[in-house]
A and B are shown apart, each in its own frame.
Chain A
């Protein structure tokens, strides 16, 4: 339980630091620490596969997209005035957003048929079962995702290449 508390503290504290940083790169790196904490949480819960995927996708890939996007799009300093809203607006939008996310997560947890006490996640979420359910029950969703991502990739290549015709 102490371990869980430590992991939770790591996730929440680093997320808090991330949103309070003025330096965008620092904020992004703190967010990566928070994601790493989430991966640790998955490992603590016995979900090895999800934990490693969390590191691979979030710590490895999404962080890179974020950092590249910041470095390649940011021209000079960020105009801070543009980002500041009035306090009550900030609070209202924050509360709204958090409660929406919380509602979705709570709804999906309550709607899931959870197994009783005593069964650990390690025996439930084996690699084989994840693969089976992805390829059988959720095959259509998986294929749709694949098609969507391929379309996004082609679109990205088109946008990147339509600027000028390469001489070679």
Chain B
């Protein structure tokens, strides 16, 4: 075969393969087989190209843009990378420079004032958290009450944002957010009442002081979380604070696939950033309150470690709590609205009421100090909270078999 013949054969290779395949069939079928084979080849070929293109396009765009992402960004115009911790600066500059859009039909004053109220309210609630032995911004007799009073203003801000935007998605989103916040405020507050009952004070610094002792030679701290009622309270508190802070798995208010971004729909630029800042402030405030009420505040876990600065212990615990928030966000899927409200009203509110009784029992059994009495106190206390939990969760969530869709086939 001449060289041109080889090239010609390669050029005709698809046809040759087709003819070879078709030649196995009887004469009468060959015409049809030819067409089917051509059609199938074209379909399969372009399906493969499509699959390859999706990945090629992404790889190509990534190469073309080649901008330093959050894991690589550092100080501009230098080689210093900071492990990506330069990103917040970039985010802040971007947010401030972005265009601030106010819809023409919006209530201008309310639209403007909502993020301001929200950020004020969350900042105010941080004021009563004792960050260290000598670090309490505002010493109040009714500090716990103050915390929730400051938090209550944020609900008004959410409503103002939703209504002031004059957008149905904003309003519906705000109503959903409010329903969620109001539903979970109840278990949140009920989870805190046992602490107030047993320490006999609403002052955060006095509550921290009440947890400042150790048993068994300085190894077991007397933190509230290490009692049956305290553990139950802490669990309810943490779940409810996820919902209060609009964090996953309760981030329905901004479920973008259902209601765009809820009450944030009409916000852009720095106002949008303010909402997020408020969300993170709120998260820190709730985590800080949890540390203060249940995890011993600024006290060290072991008596021997008290020499370290008290603020170090507070912030170590705070970051552990915030880490828990992020961990849960990375793990759990978002809940549906009915699941959210059912969890609050059918499980968490009754449980926190049972836990109130539990705390009352713990208080009444305070003088059972003999080994047998102490064991009995623990057993009864655990039973008071574990039995309703098991019964309730079995009866509420046991029968939830295969999912049924009411509005979809």
Q: Do A and B bind each other?
A: yes
B-binding residues in A (CB < 8 A):
25, 29, 32, 48-49, 52-53, 55-56, 59-61, 63-64, 67-68, 71, 126-127, 167-168
State whether A56 touches B145 (Cβ < 8 A): yes
State whether A67 touches B159 (Cβ < 8 A): yes
Is residue B110 within 8 Å, beta carbon to beta carbon, of the partner chain? yes
Complex-state Cα separation, A160 to B378, whole angstroms: 41
State whether B148 touches A126 (Cβ < 8 A): no
Given A29-B110, A71-B171, A127-B202, A64-B155 contact (CB < 8 Å): yes
- Beyond the given A52-B149, A67-B159, please list 13 additional residue pairs across the A-B interface where CB-CB is below 8 A: A29-B160, A48-B142, A49-B142, A59-B153, A60-B149, A60-B151, A60-B155, A61-B182, A64-B155, A64-B156, A64-B178, A71-B163, A71-B175
Is residue B146 within 8 Å, beta carbon to beta carbon, of the partner chain? yes
State whether B141 touches A126 (Cβ < 8 A): yes
Chain B, 77-122, CB within 8 A of any chain A CB: 110
Most buried by A among B146, B149, B150, B163: B149
Interface 1/0 per residue, B40-82 and A, CB below 8 Å? 0000000000000000000000000000000000000000000
Complex-state Cα separation, A25 to B160, whole angstroms: 10
Report chain A residues within 8 Å CB of B148: 52, 56, 60
Is residue B392 within 8 Å, beta carbon to beta carbon, of the partner chain? no
Is residue B152 within 8 Å, beta carbon to beta carbon, of the partner chain? yes
Complex-state Cα separation, A48 to B159, whole angstroms: 27
Report chain B residues within 8 Å CB of A49: 141-142, 145
Report chain A residues within 8 Å CB of B255: none
Subset of 25 A-B contacts with CB under 8 Å: A25-B163, A29-B110, A29-B160, A32-B156, A48-B146, A49-B142, A49-B145, A52-B145, A53-B149, A55-B149, A55-B152, A56-B145, A56-B149, A59-B156, A60-B148, A60-B149, A61-B152, A61-B182, A63-B156, A67-B163, A68-B178, A71-B163, A127-B141, A127-B142, A127-B202
Closest to A53 in B: B145
A-binding residues in B (CB < 8 A):
110, 140-142, 145-146, 148-153, 155-156, 159-160, 163, 171, 175, 178, 182, 202, 404, 406
Nearest-CB distance from B204 to chain A (Å)? 13
Closest to B158 in A: A64
Closest to A55 in B: B149
State whether B152 touches A59 (Cβ < 8 A): yes
Report chain A residues within 8 Å CB of B152: 55-56, 59-61
Complex-state Cα separation, A25 to B163, whole angstroms: 9
Nearest-CB distance from B125 to chain A (Å)? 12
| Chain B contact residues: helix, strand, loop or mixed | helix
Complex-state Cα separation, A106 to B183, whole angstroms: 38
State whether B146 touches A52 (Cβ < 8 A): yes
State whether B140 touches A48 (Cβ < 8 A): yes
Closest to B178 in A: A64
Report chain A residues within 8 Å CB of B110: 29
Most buried by B among A25, A53, A56, A168: A56
Nearest-CB distance from A44 to chain B (Å)? 15
Complex-state Cα separation, A60 to B150, whole angstroms: 9
State whether A60 touches B141 (Cβ < 8 A): no
Report chain B residues within 8 Å CB of A126: 141
Closest to B202 in A: A127
Complex-state Cα separation, A59 to B160, whole angstroms: 13
Complex-state Cα separation, A126 to B140, whole angstroms: 12
Complex-state Cα separation, A167 to B182, whole angstroms: 26
Report chain B residues within 8 Å CB of A168: 404
Nearest-CB distance from A71 to chain B (Å)? 7
Report chain A residues within 8 Å CB of B141: 48-49, 126-127
Report chain A residues within 8 Å CB of B202: 127
Complex-state Cα separation, A67 to B149, whole angstroms: 18
Report chain A residues within 8 Å CB of B156: 29, 32, 59-60, 63-64
Report chain B residues within 8 Å CB of A71: 163, 171, 175
State whether A52 touches B175 (Cβ < 8 A): no
Report chain A residues within 8 Å CB of B155: 60, 64
Complex-state Cα separation, A53 to B146, whole angstroms: 8
Given A48-B140, A71-B175, A127-B202, A60-B145 contact (CB < 8 Å): no
Nearest-CB distance from A110 to chain B (Å)? 29
Complex-state Cα separation, A38 to B202, whole angstroms: 22
Closest to B146 in A: A52
